[in-house]
Structure 1
Amino acid sequence: MTDDEYVIEADGLRRTYAGGFEAVTGISFRVARGEIFALLGTNGAGKTSTVELLEGLAAPDGGSARVLGHDPYRERAAVRPRIGVMLQEGGFPSDLTVAETARMWAGCTTGARPTGEALDLVGLDRRAGVRVKQLSGGERRRLDLALALLGRPEVLFLDEPTTGLDVEGRRDTWELVRTLRNGGTTVLLTTHYMEEAESLADRLAIMHRGRIVTSGTPAEVTGARPARIRFTLPEGVTAGRLPLGLRAAAQGRRIEIRTHRLQESLGELLLWAKESGVRLEGLDARTASLEEAFLDIARTETAGV
């Protein structure tokens, strides 16, 4: 892939706050055109600080950021009309209606799409006459997203886009983001919902204490972690009877096996159970989820500090 196919580039990016706290400690990554890239991490990992540098809201204290081939801070006039930004909180005037808020924002947006179209995209068309202060938390997030989409952005930054949404609203937002990606929009999002990242992201990076500790496709990140097999042994059968090749952790009769060879380990277990006449209650075998990988990385990194 050539450099001009990357629309977001961070190279040794650093951000330091008053008092010397370094929130972003020299991270590097690239996002390709038409890609959904998720930035994950615990609270305080540096996700929002990173996104703000890419949005041009602050200048980096080291390294460089490029969006659509430009420095987003120093060349803001060239970048801003081509991006959409959904912050964690919009902070709109509470006495304006949804439609009035959208029209106000459209007046500040180059080449804005019709406000009704933007509200329809996020399912707020029927709430156009409602004052912002009367919206639920989830509806306010939908309004934030509608305004981010007004300018038909080439690059869309979404900071915790589905916080406060119910299950249906979250799924609708996911579908909208996929549709935007399929139409050529590049999306960088932060989220605390691992299911969201696993469902949406083409690639992702996990941050911890200001640095990227792992990155790749969701399958690559989870594939580096062991799969697990769980089951309950019958009364009178101890974990010591399991095949020696299966390293198991036992809590009473409840057994968990972690393995990088799921198919082989499961086959060995089932053959042993058949030959021994043992019934494995509640048998559950699965590869690592992104949530499990994330928690494992967080524990490992914290313990290593």
Structure 2
Amino acid sequence: MELIFLGTGAGVPGKERNVSALALNLQAERGTTWLFDCGEATQHQILRSPVKAGKLEKIFITHLHGDHIFGLPGLLSSRSMNGARDPLTLYGPPGIKAFIESALTLSASFLTYPLDVVEIEAGVVFADAQFTVTALPLTHGVPSFGYRIEESDKPGALDSARLAADGIPAGPWMQHLKRGESATLPDGRLIDGAEYLGPPQKGRVLAIFGDTTPTPNAAILARDADVMVHETTLEAAMAEQANRHGHSTTHQTASAARDAGAKKLIITHLSARYDREGAEKLKAECREIFPNTELAHDFDIFSL
């Protein structure tokens, strides 16, 4: 599982930071990629990254401001023109369906793959045997959501020493035992795999936020998260300006991560006023409150 940052700037594209887009690489887990937000020129960023548009399974939009959605029509159309056939599901606040339908209809675009557009509300928006995705509202000028992505727990590892001690040889039945299932050995013994498994492996948890001022829902979304990805638009001294426009500062973001018990904070969505030196100062301000803070640049990859 990897986080691939395709755009880490706020509002408008810059020379070093494009507008918001974040890919969650799930190739190892399910052979697909999920995308969170799709600002202008996201498809250009994808061309310069390991992400493959044809492998996109889901796109989650946090809110409908242009720096988070203006790349969608182009990406959807190019994916079609490149011959994609696999279904794609798009999640977003109410209004996302009208935006996509209008853009595709007025531009006479067509899709070669099934596109399902889901307008979300607070609660679970997707769940299967591997992952559960929950959305909660944030505080911004338009409806904005944060997403909590929870990986299901995995069965513990097989106790190889105990298997050997009980005279259980290697063979195709091991696949059943690894899943905690029963299997019959060639000598007729019925083995219960659950008796040979170690403690379950805790699934990973991510919290990915849209634009927001400080909100109580941050503690719910990022509770005990392995990684929290949160906007840090302005420095601590500019709190009044940041909050007036629906954004957060360094200290507000770091405090949210600390209060939620997150293990790591990755800051993104930086104002264009900050060059590389200024961005480092933002990271330093976050670390005053939450030491395990990392600063995202375009094309940075963080493994989980």
State the TM-score, normalizing by the size of structure 2: 0.26
State the TM-score, normalizing by the size of structure 1: 0.26
**Larger RCO, structure (CA 8 Å, separation 6 or more):** 1
Max radius of gyration: which structure?
A: 1
